Structure 1
């Protein structure tokens, strides 16, 4: 069963994310690829969603208003994406508010009802070339915003510096240096009106011929299927997002201390981890954020698993170390 690719569009307010999204949707139409969109607005009015629907009344779209998708609206993300999946799209675009951290959204994609149906293809961060150098001073009184804009740069797979028609060559070079200091790996494109080679961004998106059927209690791919797909991807030099998720099966009663010790091995690349694990007392939801691990009783009746979410985690090494664990 083919999984649906998800593109996350990140970047501060007014950078040009919606302009890029409109162009992506037009390109999908030309490729006869069916896109779906999840839009998040921090206010109660959905301006961007209306702009998208103006162009195409048939566009598959879900909206989360009056809150940030990575905090107050996080619990609603899974339900919104499930609605999109029922429309059988070939690709999903998630446009974040300007104050959202991309990895928080990736966390939402690993919910039990979603994890078998989609995967993160790319995080694309759009930056306002005219103002990005001023963010530190503009947001000086709100340190969280400085950290958010930095994180949006750090975890991006593709960086688009927009509005270069409004800046000088010397300012452009300063922007390039700041970006490369925070993310030396990902390609940077300088644009006006978010115009970039969209065929490059969508190169791996294909029409899904075996459309998904969201069935209750559907089990995941077997380990053998996963292993085959993983090896096949490497042979084809498949380019996945730098934010990667690794799903580990938990087939026996576990000890939280051993899992916590295991997770500590992967710092600083590990951003967070979560999953449903069997303890002597029953099933528990485990959540690991930064240096802390939290456990709470769960009514989860499906399979037990642990998902690791990180930047450039080595899947083969992680899976090998996990296999050595003796609970």
Structure 2
């Protein structure tokens, strides 16, 4: 969905004589009738804009910019951003319509528009391919050349809407045959039959119009991450490079404020499979600079920038039929500052059954028994398990006579806890909603290692708050090495975030909030520089 403050861009593509200008004139009339202001960017290969003259003769004047003497997608592509900037800043339009030359390739137009969306409040709302049905079915001397047919096919395959135009010149059988060809070329787009470009005017006001869908670079080949199609102009064909496209769907998202750079990098590294390229401008909460970012072939690059004037933070994604709702959810989580947690929730929801049925490692039962012995020595009666997972440890402590409350971020884990008869709640360990001093003990096995290091002191303070004075806290985490970030070798999807500490830094951070009763390590045979397990028992001071 395009934001209300974003100006929708509609691109009309189609071969020469297909009826683009007639359809555009109808769209402009619809806007004018509603008291809205459209603007037009016209492109002609020649030095005279005859289509622009036809628009001017057709009714109410519409602000129009011209790109003459070249194709919008190659020789004068760099002018697109300048012209869009002038139109948007001078007229504050409600929509921008781009009519390209008949020989323009839509993927390059899309790329030019998304470049401009980095610094203008615009977003691609729809790409309409206008097809002359009789020309599509032409035979003999009227048949399109192989090169023209390839271009026509690519224009159709990139469209969000295909208008089969001039159907009044076709029999019902020929119209059905033409539509079947279009559907074969583009299984996803809306296909409508039109006469003289009479597309339902409501389409031009659907600001959530479907974005373009998959296209094919060459017969039988879907563009993918490993595509390296050449971009040089063929000497014999000024548009030969158009067979090389890597992006066929666009999603533009303006960012609402600074975001965490580490979380953003993790988000970009886990983009859906269909995203081939991304670019944008971002402000990060953990650095003073703004950055231009570019993503291609699974590589992410940042360039520090100082924009002149007001430039929005924005992210633009290009690819093949990728799930936009997944991108939106990720960006929204970045803006809320909950990106890592929401990934964690999805990951543990997905693997809850596996974690509930895996055999418990022997050293973990030893750790559990050690803490239970400490609790019995203290006379503890109530225990909170933080990050309880499916509840197997909570059941152990309950069967040992403790009144147990289990909390976990994963609803599926909490459901499994409740199936075991536990008092369980969906709760973030960073926001423990219990009164002060509610529990004699807190138990957290391999859960706090998912907390970013910048947040751990606050999480420890929250755990300290819900403990009674003198209460014990068991904290077991992997550590012994210093690292932070998404574990790229993780078998879970989404891959999980881990923060690990070397032993002395861990002693330091927990020692600021608690008295250290026990700090031990569980090493693995032949572990070398691999993490070991840090077994920590802490006490809340009885001092007020």
TM-score relative to the length of structure 1: 0.71
Q: Is the 8 A contact 1:109 1:115 kept in 2?
A: no
Match of 2:72 in 1: 69
CA displacement, residues 79-103 of structure 1 (integer Å, 9 cap, x when unaligned): 1111111212211111111222333
Determine if contact 2:22/2:197 at 8 Å carries over to the other structure: yes
Counterpart residue number, 2:185:
182
Tell me the equivalent position of 1:309. 318
- Alpha-carbon distance in structure 2 between the residues aligned to 1:114 and 1:276: 7
Determine if contact 1:276/1:300 at 8 Å carries over to the other structure: no
Please point out which of 127, 138, 141 is paired with 2:144: 138
Tell me the SS of whatever aligns to 1:202.
Answer: helix
Structure 2 counterpart SS, 1:131:
helix
1:166-186 Cα offsets, whole Å, 9 max, x none, are 222222121111111122232
Alpha-carbon spacing, 1:303–1:27, altered in 2? closer, same or farther (3 Å): closer
1:5 is matched with: 8
Q: Which residue of the other structure, out of 139, 150, 155, is the alignment partner of 1:152? A: 155
Q: Which residue of 1 aligns with 2:479?
A: none
Residues 17-62 of structure 1, C-alpha deviation per residue, up to 9 Å, x if partnerless?
0011111112222222211101111222211011112234732000
Q: CA RMSD in A?
A: 3.7
Match of 2:86 in 1: 83
Aligned equivalent of 1:274: 279
Determine helix, strand or coil for the equivalent of 2:24: helix
Q: Matched residue of 1:109: which SS?
A: helix
Cα distance in 2, alignment partners of residues 271 and 147 from structure 1: 23
Question: Does residue 165 of structure 1 match 2:179?
Answer: no
Q: Show the counterpart of 1:20.
A: 23
SS of the counterpart of 2:73?
coil
Decide which moves more: 126-135 or 107-116: 107-116
Q: How far, CA to CA, are the matches of 1:33 and 1:79 in structure 2?
A: 23
Aligned-partner Cα distance in 1 for 2:193–2:318: 29
Task: Name the TM-score, length of structure 2 as normaliser.
Answer: 0.45
Deviations 1:154-209 (A, max 9, x none): 222221111222222222121111111122232222222122322x223447xxxx
User: Partner of 1:217 in structure 2?
Assistant: none
The aligned counterpart of 1:101 is 105
Uncovered stretches (5+) of structure 1, i.e. residues with no partner: 206-237
Equivalent in the alignment of 1:215 = none
Secondary structure, counterpart of 1:179 in structure 2: helix
Question: Distance in 1 between the 2:133 and 2:282 partners?
Answer: 45
How many residues align? The count is: 285
Deviations 1:105-155 (A, max 9, x none): 232333366555122222111001011135996332x3xx44432222122
Return closer, same or farther for 1:172/1:7 CA change in 2, 3 Å cut-off. Answer: same
Please say if residues 251 and 304 of structure 1, whose CA atoms lie closer than 8 Å, have aligned partners that are also in contact.
no
Provide the residue aligned with 2:251 in structure 1: 245
Change (3 A) 1:175 1:295: same
Structure 2 counterparts to residues 255-266 of structure 1, below 5 A: 262=270, 265-266=272-273
- The question of whether the paired residues in 1 share the 8 Å contact of 2:281 and 2:315 is answered with yes
Q: C-alpha distance in 1, partners of 2:280/2:323?
A: 19
Which is bigger in relative contact order (C-alpha 8 A, separation at least 6)?
Answer: 1
* C-alpha distance in structure 1 between counterparts of 2:5 and 2:32, whole Å: 20
- Please name the residue that 2:361 is paired with: none
Structure of greater Rg: 2
Matched residue of 2:45: which SS? coil
